[in-house]
Amino acid sequence: MKLTIMTFNLRVNTPIDGDNAWPYRIRHATDLVRKAEPLIIGTQEGRYDMLRDLDQELSDYSRLGEGRSGYESGDPRMDECCAIFYKHDRIKVIKQGQFSLSETPEIPGSVSWDSSYPRFCTWACLERIDEPGRRFYVYNTHFDHEGQLAREESAKLLLDRIARCQEEEGLPVLLTGDFNSFPENPAIVTLRQNLIDAYLAHPEPIGRTFHDFEGGVEGEPIDYLFFTRDVALLETTVYRDEYEGKYPSDHYPISAQVLLP
């Protein structure tokens, strides 16, 4: 089963970004998605107003996932979602959920270690409509931007959940996210020791993926795609597209084409 999956930090909708604020970027973001044609997209920093814009513009996709509180709270800081978008004519949802990246994963909005915000992971078991029984899992997350201990413990928690998933169901797992960590960070090293890093299939140095609306390649990535070892990695693309001199986000989206067992 071949598919393309994308990770895309959308950058929150805030007026401090001026002419880079979300209302000026929505068309560029959707144009890029249409160009890449991913079957599945893991987004970060999408608030409910932004996600509703994407619902309208990308009508061939459905989405799942809630905000940090586990529901729409009205507080923009808590309403940031790690949403999963999927093409509903090709994929159906078998089950879904999310858990906090904390010492109490089942408590929505819980904070542990040195995390500056509640952090969490959205997950789903998905099935190909044209191949009943061909199922796989997608996890989408956003690590803390300040807490190093939180990043390391979050990586361990994710790996534990992924391992349990494989032991119990034997299904492949795809992981998307903004990990707020360079490749040498212990959190990323831990993930790379246990999972396949999509950048292995990129033909040139990755460069930075967070660019603060400035573009460029100098630096290192913080956005990643990882897969369990039963997944065959075929191709990886970093999208540095500009539209009318603007970028769709302050992060470059990354997609990978994979072959599932």
CATH of span 2-259: 3.60.10.10
Sheet holding 91-100, edge to edge: 91-100, 120-128, 135-142, 173-178, 223-227, 196-197
Q: Determine the Cα–Cα distance for residues 237 and 214; give it in Å rounded to an integer.
A: 19
Q: Determine the Cα–Cα distance for residues 123 and 168; give it in Å rounded to an integer.
A: 16
Task: Supply the pLDDT for residue 211.
Answer: 98
Nearest to 179 by CA among 224, 213, 215: 224
Q: Where are the domains of the chain?
A: 2-259
Helix %, strand %, coil % of the chain (to 5):
25, 30, 45
Sequence-distant (6+) residues with CB within 8 A of 59 are none
**pLDDT (tens digit, 9 = 90+) per residue, 28-50?**
999 999 999 999 999 999 999 99
- Residue 77 pLDDT > 80, yes or no? no
Rounded to the nearest 10°, the torsion over CA 101, 106, 109, 114 is -30
For the whole model, what pTM was predicted?
0.96
* For range 83-109, the mean pLDDT: 97
Give the CA distances from residue 194 to residues 99, 158, 163, in Å, rounded to whole numbers and listed in that order.
21, 11, 10
**pLDDT (tens digit, 9 = 90+) per residue, 206-230?**
999 999 999 999 999 999 999 999 9
